[in-house]
Amino acid sequence: MERIRLGVIGAGLMGMKHIELVHACGICSLAGISDVDPSRKALADAFGVSFYRTAEELIDGEQPTGVIIATPNAQHAAIAEVCAKRSVHMLIEKPIADTLAQAMRIVDIANQSGIRVLVGHHRRHSPLIRKTRELVGGGAIGKLIGVSVLWALMKPDAYFDVEWRRQRHVGGPLLINLIHDLDSLRFICGEIKEVYARASSAVRGFDVEDSLSISIAFDNGAIGSVLASDATPAAWSYEAAVGENPLYFRTEENCYHFLGTSASLAFPRMELWRYADANRKGWQHPMERSQIAVGEADPLKVQLEHFCRVVRGEDEPVVNARDGAETLAVALAVQRSASKGIPIDPSELLTGIEG
């Protein structure tokens, strides 16, 4: 089968990862790279492809079947419009956009053009997350009562030398990191109907939050809590626990706990706790811990292979534009709740945009 030609728009930190993956992939090939920063041409030279300044030039010059958009969030919608006009399918990095208005613009572009859009919430392609969804959704722990998420680590001081990372509602663990965890919670536990959050910047004193707590209500009646801080020497974050990204020191600790009526599950060690005798329940009775085996795979690579099938029309996007907008709405609802001190229903934010 002929390889799918993919362009990469935005060759920064994330774009570089995509470029490497596309280059190494057996079912697609790198058609070209575009970046507004001319110094990124060196990367195109290293991979033996042409370099363009704009998305338009890349598409007109190379006629790729699909593109990966890895520019800053505020550029996603404008570039999506350029791609849709030229009938090019897109994998858009997460979050889908920086505002809900821009996110819904992308939803409309996808609906009106018929162009396929996959949003890069890549953890949904992680075998661990998929297995957890299968277990929790499939009744392996009984009816879901609740989930506890701990996201705690220390960002290095130098991280905050970049100004936008100190700005409220731009940088911060919520929009940069926790949006992944919130997306995974939607994927595993179901839709979120309300969030009630409190943010603190007491450690560093920057405008942006360094710590956050969120109380969650799911549509299905389950409840959840998230405690997050990027200012503590702690071992319990998805990044450190799972070790997908070699940048993080890997701790292999558990960071999520799912509580059900018949068992509970600790993630990512996939420890299932239940009573040894299902008829003898209560704190005095012995419990058993079993470990569920899960194969390893790089979620970004699995995501890319899925995108190729989406482009061919063989798969429906695991995260379509609407789904990406809904995850963004949850994150922005957390932000608004923390600012106003009131619970917020994420769907109301979307309804406001849809008019």
Ligand X SMILES: NC(=O)c1ccc[n+]([C@@H]2O[C@H](COP(=O)([O-])OP(=O)(O)OC[C@H]3O[C@@H](n4cnc5c(N)ncnc54)[C@H](O)[C@@H]3O)[C@@H](O)[C@H]2O)c1
User: In terms of CB distance, is 1 or 13 closer to ligand X?
Assistant: 13
User: In terms of CB distance, is 61 or 146 closer to ligand X?
Assistant: 61
Instruction: Tell me how many degrees the CA angle 253-247-265 measures, rounded to the nearest 5.
Output: 25
User: In terms of CB distance, is 120 or 260 closer to ligand X?
Assistant: 120
Alpha-carbon distance of 329 to 327, in angstroms, equals: 5
Smallest distance from ligand X to CB 16, Å? 7
Is the Cβ–Cβ distance between 18 and 42 less than 8 Å?
Answer: no
Smallest distance from ligand X to CB 101, Å? 17
Q: For residue 61, report the phi and psi dihedrals to the nearest 5 degrees.
A: -80, -35
Is the Cβ–Cβ distance between 170 and 246 less than 8 Å?
Answer: no
SS3 316: coil
Smallest distance from ligand X to CB 289, Å? 31
What burial letters (b/e) apply to 47-60, b meaning 16+ CB within 10 Å?
A: bebbbbeebeebbe
Alpha-carbon distance of 229 to 219, in angstroms, equals: 27
Torsion over CA: 290, 249, 150, 330 (sign): negative
User: In terms of CB distance, is 40 or 306 closer to ligand X?
Assistant: 40
User: In terms of CB distance, is 7 or 346 closer to ligand X?
Assistant: 7
User: In terms of CB distance, is 305 or 345 closer to ligand X?
Assistant: 305
SS3 277: coil
What is the number of the residue whose Cβ is closest to ligand X?
12
Smallest distance from ligand X to CB 48, Å? 19
Instruction: Tell me how many degrees the CA angle 324-330-333 measures, rounded to the nearest 5.
Output: 135
SS3 290: strand
Smallest distance from ligand X to CB 130, Å? 17
Neighbours of 176 (CB within 10 A): 15
User: In terms of CB distance, is 145 or 302 closer to ligand X?
Assistant: 302
Smallest distance from ligand X to CB 10, Å? 3
Smallest distance from ligand X to CB 220, Å? 27
Alpha-carbon distance of 52 to 79, in angstroms, equals: 14
Footprint on this chain of ligand X (rule: CB under 6 A): 9-15, 34-37, 40, 55, 70-73, 75, 93-94, 120, 122
